[in-house]
Amino acid sequence: MGKHPLYNQTGLQKNNKSHVLYALADKQMELKQIQDEYEAKISKIKSDLEAMEQVICLFDGDCDKTIKKLNVKFSNRKPRARNSHFINGECKKLVLSVLRTSTGQLTTSDISLKVQDLKKIDKSDNALNKNIQKIVVQILRTLEKSQIIEQVGKDGLSIIWKIKN
């Protein structure tokens, strides 16, 4: 206890401060230590990146352009927004499950509603329904590009889908 900044030399509390204050001071010191550790890691990563750039320059005569291209490519990346209703890959599995278990062909809106049923998501909220339908449409387009499913027609504005044979 003698090392704590709020205690005096004998280990007694200075000025009869509350225990909460001491706990908060402990937490602050802990967080400061974590911050220092992360700052050390960041500086090491920066020096590693500088070393990598030097190695790139050894093998590439026009390394400035190459490094600029790499930096632009990296800076254009955006973090993927996560959906609060589905974990990663779950909606795709549900869409495929709906298509596999259906006896006939399904429209996009039917697939979306069945996915909501499987996930027990309330269908009374129109904004949420549209959001989930957008997610389902993106998944259907991806599955179509992968040649797993195919469009078989249209019902008004809605596309009819089935699993490819």
The reply to whether 159 and 108 lie within a common domain is: yes
Mean per-residue pLDDT of the chain = 85
**What pLDDT is attached to residue 2?**
46
**What pLDDT is attached to residue 10?**
54
**What pLDDT is attached to residue 78?**
72
pLDDT tens readout for residues 93-103? 999 999 999 88
In the sheet with 158-163, reading across from the earlier edge strand, the strands are 106-107, 158-163, 149-155
List the CATH number of the domain containing 112. 1.10.10.10
83 domain-assigned: no
Most confident of 68-72, 107-111, 156-160: 107-111
Alpha carbon 42 to its chain's center:
22
Percent of the residues in the chain that have a pLDDT greater than 70, as a whole number:
88
36 domain-assigned: yes
pTM (global) more than 0.75: no
Query: Residue 64 is part of which domain span?
Result: 14-75
CA-based angle 35:80:106, to the nearest 5?
150
100 domain-assigned: yes
From the list 113, 106, 104, 163, the residue with the least C-alpha distance to 133 is: 113
The reply to whether 69 and 117 lie within a common domain is: no
Confidence tier at 8 by pLDDT (50, 70, 90): low
The reply to whether 71 and 94 lie within a common domain is: no
What's the structural domain count of the chain? Answer: 2
- Return the DSSP state at 124: S
